[in-house]
Structure 1
Amino acid sequence: MNALWARLTRYPIITITVVIGIIGVALALTGEELAARWTISIFALVIAGIESIAMVRSLLRGSFGIDVLAVTAIIATVLVGEYWASLIIVLMFSGGEALEDYAAGRAKHELTALLDRSPQFAHRQQGNETVEVPVGELEVMDTVVVKPGELVPVDGTLLSEVATLDESSLTGESLPVERVRGDILISGSVNGALALAMTVTAKAEDSQYQRIVALVAEAAESKAPFVRLADRYAVPFTIVAYIMAAAGWIFSGDPARFAEVLVVATPCPLIIATPVAFIAGMSRAARHGIIIKNGGTLEKLARVKTVAFDKTGTLTQGQPELSAIHAVDGVTQDELLRLAAIAEQYSAHTLAQSLVSSAHFRGLKIVPCNDVVETTAHGLTATIDGKVVVVGKFGFILDAAPNAERVQLEAGELAIYVSIDGVYAGAIILRDEVRLDAAETLTWLRHLGVRRTLMLTGDAKATAEHVAAGLGVTDVRAECLPIDKVRAVEAVTERPVMMVGDGVNDAPVLAVADVGVAMGARGSTAASESADVVIMKDDLARVARAVQVGQDTIRIALQSIWLGIVLSLGLMVAAVFGLIPAVVGAAFQEIIDLLTILNALRALGNGRSPEVHRSISPPTRQSQIVP
């Protein structure tokens, strides 16, 4: 009973319309036809008046909607005595909101699934006991027990020997993943059949899951340019409808013909089907681990002509491995690596993480250091054991140590230079593999209509050109500072331009691009917040999939609009010649609404997990080792 009452009160106009209809039928059956006519007509005119006020407000805001046709149709049917038709139009117009809510709810299912599953409590280990506490109370280094089937509440490190987790709602990957002791656990993952223990590494508000929830909430509440897309067709359609209605009246001499034409000229598809298609497209993307923050981005994705990529961590694996160490002036290789790792331990850069990992692998002790000053895209300075250590690019080191010398690099190698107390101490050589799916992704983007690709990187020119040559990227901008990347994107003439990156230094250029895409699986919070699209799985191919989802969504939205327009025009032609009574025309219009909304829901896709783009099969190639 409560559920029924909630539905009735949620859509009061629909409820009142049905009640008025029942009263009208009762009056007509008891011979009170005049009373039925006046009851329904007055109600219809009141609704028309209310909608007219809303319509005027929309016009004052610069938004032209086709609700003017519905208002005119209601008034016209009342004036010519077709009051039953006017009641159906009111029901159709007010029912549009309920129909849109239903369709949008279905379309949003994937998009809002994460919000509905947000963990509220966690099992914290306190001595020999496990205590249930709110997730927000967890602190770094707490030990948490996750029971079978529960969500991992916050980011952490696995303490148990092994665990099986379902990360599909985060990454779109349908298969469970195996984790072993020491592996990172992503909040929001679903634990398997065995309970696990973990150490908290981030508080709830800083965890991956909460970041995703925030992004999804923003996407779910976005007010995209749905109306603008429909308005492009609303004005000409309205004009044509009035001309045909006037023509029917003039040629027949019957004012009822004017009303009959307008009854079938109120296509809710222009109002409802377009936003449903957009929401469905965003939900489809979310199912594939792609968070699109607003519907406006879908429109831009569909028209992308240029794609710019960062290199490290985007086109490459982003996990450079130690290749060689060149130490000079009596400094041992281990000491050179140790000092560089100590200095870089506070940096979020991918190369810094590689240095620290390499030092740990060699069993070198990483201790705290002082006076760390990082110069973005160049390097950093730190005081270690009373010594001033400078780590970074050759030009950065040359300023601190004039005796610095470049090392000879093989194709695809990258050097990190080090100086100690103003004296050149050597260089550490790293290598990074190109992503296995990078070439195919670029090919897929070209098939989707992308005309130009760029690489924007802070790495050396020779290194960047080596990567670009292997992937077919012809426009390379190397040794870029963040501001250089911003200027390069702003200078692109073939727009819209999409920028793909994953690091802190990519945040500015992601913000200025028409579409900023953050590889959020490893990317920084700054990059994800600046981007319009966040890829939650470390899978470059999903960049191309995002473009495809945008194109499919716009295509289906336009199909829905044209389906409604063409069917309505057909009915209008029939009404002009008096072939469709007003009441029958109103019923036909409801059928058109349903058809177009069902078509719009096709933007949800087929529900399958994302796959590699099978229609493109570039030649198999050996993995390239490049920085």
Structure 2
Amino acid sequence: MKKEKPICILLSFVQSKWQTLIVFLSLITISIYFILDFLNALCTNIPLLFLIIIGGIPLFLQIFLKLLRGNWGADSLAAIALVTGILLQQYLAASLIILMLASGQTLERYARHKASSVLLALAQRMPTIAHRKIDSEIKDIPLADIAINDEIVIYPHETCPVDGIVIEGNGSMDESYLTGEPYQISKAPGASVLSGAINKESVLIIKASKLPVDSRYAIIVKVLEEAEQKRPSIRRLGDQIGAIFAPVALFFAVGAWYFTNDAIRFLAVLVIATPCPLLIAIPITIISAISRAAKQAIIIKDPIVLERLPTCKTAIFDKTGTLTYGKPTLTDIFTTPNYTPEQVLQYVGSLERYSKHPLAGAVIKATQERHIDLIESTNVSEKPGQGLTGIINQLQVSVTSRKKLLEMLPACKPSLPPVSPGLECIILLDNQYAATLHFHDAPRAESKSFISHLTPAHQFKKIMLVSGDRESEVNYLAELIPFTEIYASQSPEQKLAIVRSERQKAPTVFMGDGINDAPALTAATVGIAFGQHSNVTAEAAGAVIMENNLNKVDELLHLSINTRNIAAQSAIGGMLLSFIGMGFAATGFISPVMGAIFQECIDIIAIANALRLAFGSTIKIDLPNG
């Protein structure tokens, strides 16, 4: 068995890579042919015959099996053209057909194996070891060795390895990629933690409440595996057109042979019918579009996105980091008559610069935007669950919660503004209520115009907001931006179920940026990852928007429409010219040799049209501010 192992490895490699090997072999042999032809050598066709034997026969047999299953596409007609080229002794044409077939299959194989890279990215994000604490000793153990009720130490900036409960330490965790919650979540003894969350600045000790395989992150991996297995099968545009063109062209060739009893006319028709516009122009159009998109900070990972995006009628959006900035923003300041918003911000900002609380950054940013100078503060202290206090200009400043204020000063309740979605903090000056600050995960500046234009400009019939965030935050966004339907507090499994349900009704595009969005991205007709936050999300999506700007999504929509139109122009226009040539060939006006020349002219026209996408530095969009 040990001696057979290297052979098995070799066979496995050849089986998975042989299309790629044929592509390189085709390029080499065709280059050798041109060199020999330039030197007027007598053996110019030998390299091409070698390629036909090594690469052409396996490709032909593969396509022949497709024919037996009733799959008539562009590849099928290419197989017939390949045999025709050999019978006509046009070995160069046959070799070019082999090159096109092999390169197309190589691209398809790359897309099929995308699932493995998604799961690999998921696995690489999780730690392989955990720090288990027994008595006063901390020991590193494999993740699989964690048992329920084990005490696990999580150091700053580490990923939580297992679901559990905090038993020691105070800090915060970033769970945004798992739950959609945009804010860092404060953690104190008794708080629950999720596997996959990122610890921030403090050491936390947790007690494992689940095994790693049953924890939140492992569940997402399982859901993603299931979604990958059920990813919808989508036919290529070339095959869709070829399914019509191939039998018509073959019928035309057989008819010419039958009515004229001249096999040469049959061959001439097939040479002209070689589907090069399908096999060459469409890939060139797609490659040009991918290159053009890359210049605009849009990464097309799966070319099928360009074919399917224009057909989508339902758009589903995650909230956090996609339609919003993904971090708290100070939106409202309510003050008592004794203080102005600027005074309150100056006091609060002067304290918050010493805080690690998730809202501190939003306060500091607000002071910078308003050009408010911060002042010296003393005796600054922050106790988890109690708030932030300090002395400024001999005035005691306290930042606390509504609950704590009403416990201390219940008479202040009438002075407080109504409870609103999002987060808030209460400001006390010398133990007297002074102000309330409201924070929201604010929508992007372009979110409303982008969502509003999808139906009139791109014919979307349903626009949905599906978020893992709390209902109050989702409702707040829905009041500002028009949606057909909204769903809040959705788990990855629930998001996946919604996407699958909508996809059965109409082609669906899903856009998100968190790890919890990965299964839905994979299950949608088109999945678009927004931003650069998560490798897992990027791997699961068919396209990645590298800049945090929704205008880029509109650029992708227009690029996909242009790609589909140009590909269709090249393919259908090329076929129409082929039909004209086939008519002349069937009536005897064009010989097989002239037919080959005519077909090359068609190819040049189709390819020149396909290359139009490669030129230009910007993509026109129809957003009001685009």
Match of 1:519 in 2: 530
Aligned equivalents of 2:401, 2:306: Cα separation in 1: 39
User: Cα RMSD between the aligned structures?
Assistant: 5.2
Q: Deviation at 1:13?
A: 2.7
Q: Is the contact made by 1:510 and 1:516 (CA closer than 8 Å) also made in structure 2?
A: yes
Secondary structure at 1:550 match in 2 = helix
Say if 2:545 is the partner of 1:541.
no
Q: Is the contact made by 2:85 and 2:93 (CA closer than 8 Å) also made in structure 1?
A: no
Say if 2:582 is the partner of 1:578.
no
Say if 2:62 is the partner of 1:57.
yes
Q: Deviation at 1:15?
A: 3.7
Question: Which one of the candidate residues 94, 106, 115 is aligned to 1:90?
Answer: 94
Match of 1:267 in 2: 275
CA distances 1:311-368 after superposition (whole Å, capped 9, x unpaired): 45433455512634899xxxx99799979995645xxxxx675367679986779999
Secondary structure at 2:249 match in 1 = helix
Match of 1:112 in 2: none
Question: Which one of the candidate residues 451, 466, 481 is aligned to 1:442?
Answer: 451
Aligned equivalents of 2:487, 2:355: Cα separation in 1: 31
CA distance change for structure 1 residues 513 and 263 in 2, over 3 Å: closer, same or farther?
closer
Secondary structure at 1:492 match in 2 = helix
Question: Which one of the candidate residues 469, 487, 506 is aligned to 1:495?
Answer: 506
Q: Deviation at 1:492?
A: 2.6
> Which segment drifts farther, 551-560 or 303-312?
303-312
Secondary structure at 2:422 match in 1 = strand
Match of 2:29 in 1: 13
Q: Is the contact made by 1:267 and 1:589 (CA closer than 8 Å) also made in structure 2?
A: no
Question: What one-letter code is carried by the residue in structure 1 that aligns with 2:29?
Answer: I
Question: Which one of the candidate residues 546, 564, 577 is aligned to 1:567?
Answer: 577
Question: Which one of the candidate residues 583, 597, 612 is aligned to 1:587?
Answer: 597
Equivalent residue pairs, number: 440
Q: Deviation at 1:240?
A: 2.4
Q: Is the contact made by 2:316 and 2:465 (CA closer than 8 Å) also made in structure 1?
A: yes
Aligned equivalents of 1:572, 1:444: Cα separation in 2: 45
Secondary structure at 1:473 match in 2 = coil
CA distances 1:44-102 after superposition (whole Å, capped 9, x unpaired): 698378513222135557876645555545655776xx54xx245336536758999xx
CA distance change for structure 1 residues 236 and 483 in 2, over 3 Å: closer, same or farther?
closer
Match of 1:558 in 2: 568
CA distances 1:557-615 after superposition (whole Å, capped 9, x unpaired): 222221222221221111111110111111111111121122222233x513356526x
Question: What one-letter code is carried by the residue in structure 1 that aligns with 2:249?
Answer: A
CA distances 1:408-431 after superposition (whole Å, capped 9, x unpaired): 65798633479xxxxxx9975225
CA distance change for structure 1 residues 465 and 235 in 2, over 3 Å: closer, same or farther?
closer
Question: What one-letter code is carried by the residue in structure 1 that aligns with 2:97?
Answer: F
Match of 1:607 in 2: 616
Q: Is the contact made by 2:443 and 2:477 (CA closer than 8 Å) also made in structure 1?
A: yes
Aligned equivalents of 1:273, 1:432: Cα separation in 2: 45
Q: Is the contact made by 1:225 and 1:295 (CA closer than 8 Å) also made in structure 2?
A: no
Q: Is the contact made by 1:55 and 1:67 (CA closer than 8 Å) also made in structure 2?
A: no
Q: Is the contact made by 2:85 and 2:94 (CA closer than 8 Å) also made in structure 1?
A: no
Q: Is the contact made by 2:464 and 2:483 (CA closer than 8 Å) also made in structure 1?
A: yes
CA distance change for structure 1 residues 554 and 353 in 2, over 3 Å: closer, same or farther?
farther
Question: Which one of the candidate residues 280, 286, 292 is aligned to 1:284?
Answer: 292
Aligned equivalents of 1:556, 1:336: Cα separation in 2: 55
TM alignment of 1:319-398, pairs within 5 A: 320-321=329-330, 323-324=332-333, 342=355, 344-345=357-358, 353-354=361-362
Q: Deviation at 1:553?
A: 1.4
Q: Deviation at 1:461?
A: 4.8
Q: Is the contact made by 2:75 and 2:101 (CA closer than 8 Å) also made in structure 1?
A: no
Aligned equivalents of 1:547, 1:608: Cα separation in 2: 16
CA distance change for structure 1 residues 490 and 51 in 2, over 3 Å: closer, same or farther?
closer
Question: What one-letter code is carried by the residue in structure 2 that aligns with 1:436?
Answer: A
Secondary structure at 1:613 match in 2 = coil
Q: Is the contact made by 2:464 and 2:485 (CA closer than 8 Å) also made in structure 1?
A: yes
Aligned equivalents of 2:414, 2:513: Cα separation in 1: 29
Aligned equivalents of 1:518, 1:406: Cα separation in 2: 45
Aligned equivalents of 1:553, 1:599: Cα separation in 2: 11
Q: Deviation at 1:465?
A: 3.9
Say if 2:303 is the partner of 1:295.
yes
Aligned equivalents of 1:225, 1:281: Cα separation in 2: 22
Q: Is the contact made by 2:286 and 2:303 (CA closer than 8 Å) also made in structure 1?
A: yes
Aligned equivalents of 1:382, 1:412: Cα separation in 2: 21
Match of 1:532 in 2: 542
Aligned equivalents of 2:348, 2:47: Cα separation in 1: 90
Q: Is the contact made by 1:301 and 1:550 (CA closer than 8 Å) also made in structure 2?
A: yes
Question: What one-letter code is carried by the residue in structure 2 that aligns with 1:519?
Answer: F
Secondary structure at 1:580 match in 2 = coil
Aligned equivalents of 2:291, 2:418: Cα separation in 1: 46
Match of 1:175 in 2: none
Aligned equivalents of 1:416, 1:554: Cα separation in 2: 48
Question: What one-letter code is carried by the residue in structure 2 that aligns with 1:306?
Answer: T
Unaligned runs of 5+ in 2: 1-22, 105-231, 337-343, 390-398, 427-432
Q: Is the contact made by 1:308 and 1:454 (CA closer than 8 Å) also made in structure 2?
A: yes
Secondary structure at 1:314 match in 2 = coil
Match of 1:250 in 2: 258
Aligned equivalents of 1:435, 1:98: Cα separation in 2: 45
Aligned equivalents of 2:496, 2:556: Cα separation in 1: 22
Q: Deviation at 1:463?
A: 5.5
Aligned equivalents of 1:509, 1:406: Cα separation in 2: 45
Q: Is the contact made by 2:447 and 2:481 (CA closer than 8 Å) also made in structure 1?
A: yes
Q: Is the contact made by 2:33 and 2:47 (CA closer than 8 Å) also made in structure 1?
A: no
Q: Is the contact made by 2:72 and 2:246 (CA closer than 8 Å) also made in structure 1?
A: no
Q: Deviation at 1:255?
A: 2.0
CA distance change for structure 1 residues 437 and 492 in 2, over 3 Å: closer, same or farther?
same
Q: Is the contact made by 1:52 and 1:71 (CA closer than 8 Å) also made in structure 2?
A: no
Question: What one-letter code is carried by the residue in structure 2 that aligns with 1:11?
Answer: L
Question: Which one of the candidate residues 454, 463, 466 is aligned to 2:464?
Answer: 454
CA distance change for structure 1 residues 617 and 343 in 2, over 3 Å: closer, same or farther?
closer
Say if 2:322 is the partner of 1:314.
yes
Q: Is the contact made by 2:469 and 2:489 (CA closer than 8 Å) also made in structure 1?
A: yes
Secondary structure at 1:498 match in 2 = strand
Question: Which one of the candidate residues 461, 482, 487 is aligned to 1:477?
Answer: 487
Q: Deviation at 1:266?
A: 1.0
Identity of aligned residues (%): 28
Match of 1:183 in 2: none
CA distance change for structure 1 residues 280 and 226 in 2, over 3 Å: closer, same or farther?
farther
Q: Deviation at 1:405?
A: 8.9
> Which segment drifts farther, 335-344 or 58-67?
335-344
